[in-house]
Structure 1
Amino acid sequence: MAATCTPLPAQNDPPAKPHWAFQPLSQEVPPAGGDRHPIDAFIRARLHPAGLSPAPSADRTTLIRRLFFDLHGLPPSPEQVNAFRASHDPQAYSKLVDDLLGSPRYGERWAQHWLDLVRYADTHGFEVNTERPNAWPYRDYVIRAFNEDLPYNQFIFQQLAGDSVGEDAATGFLVASAVLLPGQIGKDDASKRLARQDALDEIIMATGDTFLALSIGCARCHEHKFDPVSQRDYYTMQAFFAGVEYGERPLRDPAVEARLAGLNERIATLRKRLDGIEPRAS
């Protein structure tokens, strides 16, 4: 007699169609419609076949309340509502948007979404909910980045390697998540190694969630079941962050200042060399 093995259902499935999120970006031509914004043209193109029509224009009271709640998270005062309703300035709406975006309240409101994503908190949580009195510089960095409209590529770079360009507070991203405190870790070597792996896992998961939109933590123990992330990918990424340690240190101590001055001097020298090369190359 010979044993037979029936493949699992997943093994009989046809190859999965590549997910749209992993396809190269393409430039789509907006449908005709004469809308003020291309996004509106795409929305209208889907509304019409479904037998739907846009909602009527909102009145001024609704508009100002929407703007305040969206951009500041708080309602406007009665005086602000009355002034907006009474204004005959055709640019009143645009000016109000600019005023709200220019307020410090904007960064405080929208930074909260990012801080939630990276698991920032002023305490460690769990049953030993000790305070993190020096976590705030990273929070303030994120608020400042939103208010200064920091380009996204710089926002990413500074949070992953800000200590190399003098933005030490930005690297709080790497250690924003809660981890076990020294008193919660066993004294044996196995417990210490496990705690270290757990800390690195928090860094990797935060990086994957925020910048890659992937829950790559599954690959810590096995090949990812849904996303194209292997265990090899996971531990390769872990090696990149192997030098990161949870803890506290001065943001700009004399040694860091001296190193930064040397790096800036070297950058200036290299830029001069590039300036001399570019005219010849063109």
Structure 2
Amino acid sequence: MAEIEVIFYIEGLGSDKKVLERAMKETAENLRNEKNVEVKYVRVEDVLENSEEDILKYSGVIEAQLVGDLADIVRLTLRYSPAIVEVLGPGKLEIESKELMKILGEVSLFMGKLMEKFGGLAVYPKLDDIPTPDIGYSREEIESLIVDDRNILYRFVIEVFGENGEGIKETMAKALSIEGCRINKLAVQGQEEEGKFKGLLAAELLSPFETLFQLTGKYAPVAISIIEPEIIDITANELQNTLTDLGGFVNELVTRPVKRQIMEKKNTEFKLNP
């Protein structure tokens, strides 16, 4: 697999300057000691104070230039949740669908464990007024979407919960359409338990590479398989956006407890200060 050169920009926030400095120093040392990638440099910026913030008033940035294959770069993105990932090269890479499925499986497992601890990621506006998308494409349409529009055809299975199976199917069809997917097949199986439906939703979808990765990060599917094409080409810009989104997903989950504390503090101040 081709090697990828990236720069991670990892943001640190804290309420205590010394604690944040120690944490950033430790993170930088961990980066320097990574074994499966080439570490070109790790640079730790000075911690800055934001006087307008009450709780997370200190911030700092770690910049690290790394070289490794896609699987290792994705693993480090999950581990360090950079705020921004800059892809320096190559301009385009190719990966076999089997290798990509392995990477997506690792992403799903990692994100699933985080969501068990911190809650889900997939949140949408009210979908009542959004039309239900068409489901089903001809072979000619599928080939055109793959060859001309560089879409990937894949199967995707997630756990679902709700009032009933048909309602879940309609809602998820709209949600997947909003995400940028074309739906070739969609089915829900399960049963009601204590008045609530619990089961699995299986979908055969067409979407760009970025959307495939985003769905994996947001939903942590129990199964995913790429049908076509066998070789997937990814541009540097697509990979850059994908890795940055992935880092953002991890950061969103792990910082929820702190964000909750901030909101509770602000709500308390609002009640105490008429």
TM-score band by shorter chain is under 0.3
TM-score w.r.t. the length of structure 2 is 0.23
- More strand per residue: 1 or 2? 2
- More helix per residue: 1 or 2? 1
Q: Bigger relative contact order, structure 1 or 2, given CA contacts below 8 A and separation 6+?
A: 2
Q: Which has the larger radius of gyration?
A: 1
